[in-house]
């Protein structure tokens, strides 16, 4: 029994868990706080759940409106609605709006709730069994030219020459995820570099269960394609967050979180090598998660999946040594961190040019730009992050984090 429980009252959620666990001791619950977490994404159908248990009201929201929304989504799981009483007007409207059943909240009828859930689960399993053999289900599992079971493709998000990103719903997780898909292609040596990168990205993310690093769920192969299922971020990336406007204090706070993620990554023996706003994803407006380790380099791996001296990454965020194909260490990511901080503070990158090679030249030879006068106290930190020589930068991400935190305290002191 897998249940999605939507109600802001922790005591009521515990009560429902108790009722359910008496009948199904191994039942699995996912709680959704409607005030803290907001509406469920419109693409979500709760197909990984036997039933959805929905409260009737909360500050600033009404369960009936959510019920109407769910009922309008074809294929959504059965909804059991909790009204104050089973004979009040809210209960009557819930039945009209499409609730599978209504339970009184003031005095929960244990036997009635258990029977409702048992019937809802039977209906959901029959509906899923019929759907899985339908042409619609077959089409929904198509991710480009790959057929991936267990996932319902919602839409394509982005893509490039190597891989494609899709928004999907995972039946196993009961959640929306991002599925990254790439064709399996072997080079002359017989090595599939795309798959090697997928394996590395999965291993790095799984090893680093960190609050500021994206969570990866599954690595698999289907129809000569490798795929990687990972956490979905509806709030987008740092680039979108920057377009909405970032204060100096917010910029420092976000950069500190990225530095923490880099510290965890470097401590695990890996470099990111492609740090940029598009690879920093947002968990809400104030929390970040580092993603995309496809170009990461694990220092302990004997297998080298890039050619020596190859320049790769994004020129605007590339350290001088990386841009010239030289050996890099963790200080290359610290330089990229400085570029991101500068861009958040000023609203533009420190070095720009229509010619990518000209940008690479500027990283090594152009002077470090000065911050505007109101931000001048942060100039020493930026100078240290963006030093041309690696030995002149912060020696580690934790050292950079400490300097950024001190600068944030100083900025807050001045602002106060």
Q: Which of 279, 297, 275, 277 is nearest to 204 (CA)?
A: 297
Task: Supply the DSSP symbol for 365.
Answer: H
CA dihedral (376, 380, 384, 385) in degrees, to 10, reads: -30
Q: Which position among 192, 237, 274, 292 bears the catalytic label? A: 274
Tell me if residue 192 is catalytic. Answer: no
First to last CA, the chain: 53
Structure-token pair, residue 20: 């359910």
DSSP 125-193: HHHHHHHHTSHHHHHHTEETTEE-TTEEEEEEEEE-SS-EEEEEEETTTTEEEEEEEEE----TTS--H
Q: How far apart are CA 320 and CA 309, in angstroms?
A: 13
Q: How far apart are CA 230 and CA 215, in angstroms?
A: 6
CA dihedral (261, 267, 269, 271) in degrees, to 10, reads: 30
How wide is the angle at C-alpha 173 spanned by C-alphas 167 and 179, nearest 5°? 25
Ramachandran area for residue 44 (φ above 0: left; ψ -120 to 50: alpha; else beta): beta
- φ, ψ for residue 51, nearest 5 deg: -165, 160
Structure-token pair, residue 277: 């706003």
Please identify every residue annotated as catalytic. Answer: 274
């Amino acid at each position: 029994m897998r249940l999605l429980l939507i109600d802001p009252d922790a005591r009521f959620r515990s009560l429902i868990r108790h009722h359910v666990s008496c009948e199904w001791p191994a039942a699995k619950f996912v709680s959704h706080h409607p005030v803290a977490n907001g509406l469920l994404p419109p693409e979500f159908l709760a197909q990984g759940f036997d039933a959805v248990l929905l409260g009737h009201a909360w500050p600033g929201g009404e369960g009936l409106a959510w019920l109407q929304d769910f009922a309008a989504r074809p294929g959504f799981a059965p909804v059991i609605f909790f009204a104050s009483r089973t004979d009040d007007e809210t209960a009557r409207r819930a039945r009209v709006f499409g609730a599978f059943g209504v339970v009184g909240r003031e005095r929960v009828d244990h036997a009635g709730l258990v029977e409702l859930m048992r019937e809802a689960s039977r209906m959901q399993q029959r509906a899923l069994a019929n759907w899985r053999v339908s042409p619609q289900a077959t089409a929904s599992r198509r991710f480009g030219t790959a057929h991936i079971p267990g996932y319902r493709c919602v839409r394509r998000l982005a893509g490039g020459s190597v891989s494609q990103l899709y928004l999907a719903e995972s039946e196993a997780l009961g959640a929306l995820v991002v599925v990254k898909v790439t064709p399996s292609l072997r080079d002359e040596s017989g090595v599939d570099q795309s798959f090697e990168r997928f394996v590395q990205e999965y291993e790095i993310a799984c090893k680093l269960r960190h609050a500021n690093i994206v969570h990866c769920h599954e690595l698999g192969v289907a129809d000569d394609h490798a795929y990687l299922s990972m956490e979905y971020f509806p709030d987008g990336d740092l680039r979108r967050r920057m377009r909405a406007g970032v204060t100096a204090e917010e910029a420092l706070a976000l950069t500190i979180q990225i530095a923490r993620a880099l510290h965890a990554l470097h401590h695990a023996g890996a470099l990111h090598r492609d740090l940029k706003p598009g690879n920093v994803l947002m968990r809400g407006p104030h929390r970040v998660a580092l993603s995309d380790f496809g170009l990461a380099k694990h220092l302990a791996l004997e297998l080298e999946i890039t050619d020596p001296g190859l320049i790769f990454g994004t020129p605007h965020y590339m350290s001088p040594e990386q841009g010239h194909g030289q050996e890099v260490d963790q200080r290359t990511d610290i330089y990229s961190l400085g570029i991101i901080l500068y861009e958040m503070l000023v609203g533009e990158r420190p070095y720009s040019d229509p010619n990518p090679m000209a940008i690479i030249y500027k990283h090594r030879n152009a002077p470090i730009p000065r911050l505007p006068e109101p931000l001048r106290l942060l100039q020493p930190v930026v100078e240290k992050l963006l030093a041309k020589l690696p030995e002149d930068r912060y020696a580690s991400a934790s050292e950079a984090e400490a300097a950024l935190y001190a600068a944030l305290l100083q900025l807050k002191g001045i602002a106060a």
